[in-house]
Amino acid sequence: AQMKPEDAIKFRQSGYTFMAWNMGKIKAQAVDGTTPFNKDQVAAAANAIAAVANSGMGALYLPGTDKGKGWKDTRVKPELFTDKEEVGKIAKNFVEQANKLQQVALAGDQAAIKTQFGEMGKACKACHDKFRIEE
Ligand code: ASC
């Protein structure tokens, strides 16, 4: 049985929201320095991001889920549902970058974490630029 479109939208939005919370902690501690660097907290955040990134969220982009039903409309462009090759490349790269961030976060070198956080951010942005409707 296929899940309801509004459920697919809810699950994927919650995944991005949860990753954003964890990215914010890494940014504050390892990039901006607005919060003291705590190796364990940064590693926990990177583990959470990697877990979501590896969870197979592509399965939530069901046909018809470019518009919400009962949920607020999504910002996904219709091309995401047709340009599967490009979406696949971008998604694969994001997972790789999230996995690398998990590795460097576990090692705990703040400068390396900062660099890899930037690399992962580029992977986020690649999808936003191509497939997200700007507000
Ligand atoms: C975040 C977040 C994103 C990405 C993006 C990176 O923390 O919510 O969507 O990083 O800004 O370019």
Pocket test for ligand 1, best of 124, 125, 129, 133 (most atoms within 8 A of CB): 124
**Is 20 close to ligand 1, i.e. is its CB under 6 Å away?**
yes
**Predicted confidence (pLDDT) per residue in 104-125, tens digit:** 999 999 999 999 999 999 999 9
**Is 69 close to ligand 1, i.e. is its CB under 6 Å away?**
no
**Is 125 close to ligand 1, i.e. is its CB under 6 Å away?**
yes
**Predicted confidence (pLDDT) per residue in 25-83, tens digit:** 999 999 999 999 999 999 999 999 999 999 999 999 998 888 655 456 789 998 999 99
CA 1 to ligand 1 centroid distance, Å: 33
String of DSSP letters for 82-134: T-HHHHHHHHHHHHHHHHHHHHHHHHT-HHHHHHHHHHHHHHHHHHHHHHB--
ipTM: 0.90
Q: What is the pTM of this model?
A: 0.94
